[in-house]
Homo-oligomer: A and B are copies of this chain.
Amino acid sequence: MHGSDATGSPYAPHTDDERARMLEAVGAGSVDDLFDIPDAVEFDGEFGIDARSERETRRLVRTILGRNDDLTELLGRGHYGYYVPSLVDHLADRSEFLTSYTQYQPEISQGFLQALFEYQSLLVELTGLEVANCSMYDAATALGEAATLAERVRDTSGHRVLVPDLLLEGRRSTLENYVAGTDLAVDTYPTDDANVDLAALEELIDEECVMVYAENPTVRGTIEEGLESIGELAAERDALFALGTDPVALSLLQRPADVGADVVVGDASVLGLPTSYGMGLGLFATTEDYLRQVPGRLVGASEDATDRRAFTLTLQTREQHIRRERATSNICTNQAWVALRTAMHAAYLGPSGMVDLAERGVTRAEDLAERLDDLVGATAPVHDRHHLREFVIRVDQPAPAIADDLEKRGFAVHVVGDHELQVCVAGVPDERIDPFVAAFREVIR
């Protein structure tokens, strides 16, 4: 318990005697002597941060976070609150996984490398593309990386990246930052029920365009019906087709490789993480053609000196620690441990569980929409399309007031128009649906 009641770090094991002997060994009279900081920039103030016992610290955080309301979240949009099996917590928390560094010494990191290799393989199956990296930060940054990839691999002098008009602000803004240092500019194409307006897109897409980005499902929960057409349009114009999606959607919806997608991005942490205030896992997959332009880490199979299969980080010459300013990305620390959790969750579900989870995202959304549609003062779904997990409701009363009232009753929903709300069923426990419908009935009166 060195230090846990003392004033030093509770995680430094030195006894006074040891410290003295160490100072003697280095020939210093005190630890202060070891610092070579000019007086002028020495800090002799205080931070004013009190030390606390472990128990007190836990209580402090619990107290602070206890101020969050306990709401049933019907918010979706890449963060679904799917139940994460306890298995994932217990195994990912094994300290060998949790506390190890990036696998630059593969001989003592085989377990993590294999887990990441399996994660990559999961994405290869889901996307149909040949290459998936170990992770980007989240969907927004993965989209940014897709744009810079497009700039690198496209021979054209083009500079436009086309994104849907409804693109989430966080993604759009991040993308703008990622392309700020390039010649690229972000342009918008219109949508219809959140689906791509193909006619409009065809007009907008030209030789200036290096990438078209679409999402499936769309931000309104509709299933995109024009993927193949987008793929063809992009291919004709020699633009990359980047598709935004996630592992659960991919379990059921059209396979990106089958619709001509060149890059797939999104938040893979829909599996593996609870809603975590936006913390995510950037999914990034692409075709073999662009392998040497991929950002981020890649795990590859190899052999060790005894010719046994072994895994290692590979193609590292793409990366910043070797290529510096000519690297494919500046990413270093990534989301490896989240990728581990996602792989574990997917493995727990298995293909039948993943397909089932996705299909229930369709049927449960249908069921809820039908129940809301039955209420006087509400129409759902607004869009005459197939939906996955989320859909829009039209309400007679002003939407913001209804959302406020719902929140008071313990439910969080999106306002997407003066008289439009958006709700998501994924991750919402079955037994919270009835209370939600009841609350909805009350508040729209």
Contacts and interface: CB of A to CB of B under 8 A. Distances in A.
Interface of A: 1-2, 4-5, 53-56, 58-59, 83, 85-86, 90, 93-95, 348-350, 352-353, 356, 429
Contacts of A93: 90
Chain A binding surface SS class: helix
A96 to B, nearest CB: 10
Contacts of A95: 90
B1 A349 contact: yes
B5 A356 contact: yes
A56 B85 CA distance: 11
21 contacts: A1-B348, A1-B349, A1-B350, A1-B352, A1-B353, A2-B350, A4-B353, A5-B353, A5-B356, A53-B83, A54-B83, A54-B85, A54-B86, A55-B83, A55-B429, A56-B429, A58-B86, A59-B429, A90-B93, A90-B95, A94-B94
Contacts of A58: 86
Closest CB pairs A-B (n = 6): A1-B353, A55-B83, A1-B350, A1-B349, A1-B348, A54-B85
A278 to B, nearest CB: 23
A58 B4 CA distance: 34
Contacts of A353: 1, 4-5
A80 to B, nearest CB: 14
Nearest to A55: B83
Contacts of A1: 348-350, 352-353
Contacts of A86: 54, 58
A427 to B, nearest CB: 10
A24 B55 CA distance: 58
Nearest to A58: B86
A3 to B, nearest CB: 10
A93 B86 CA distance: 13
Contacts of A352: 1
Given A1-B349, A1-B350, A54-B83, 6 more contacts: A1-B348, A2-B350, A5-B356, A53-B83, A59-B429, A94-B94
A267 B94 CA distance: 30
Contacts of A429: 55-56, 59
Contacts of A4: 353
Nearest to A82: B55
Contacts of A2: 350
A356 B2 CA distance: 13
Nearest to A84: B55
Nearest to A353: B1
A90 B98 CA distance: 12
Contacts of A83: 53-55
Contacts of A5: 353, 356
A93 B91 CA distance: 11
A196 to B, nearest CB: 34
Contacts of A85: 54
A247 to B, nearest CB: 14
Contacts of A356: 5
Nearest to A2: B350
A284 to B, nearest CB: 26
A356 B85 CA distance: 41
A91 to B, nearest CB: 9
A287 B58 CA distance: 42
A83 B4 CA distance: 13
A205 B55 CA distance: 47
Nearest to A1: B353
Contacts of A349: 1
A279 to B, nearest CB: 21
A271 to B, nearest CB: 12
Contacts of A55: 83, 429
Contacts of A350: 1-2
Contacts of A348: 1
A246 B16 CA distance: 30
A7 B197 CA distance: 46
Nearest to A87: B54
Nearest to A53: B83
A86 B353 CA distance: 34
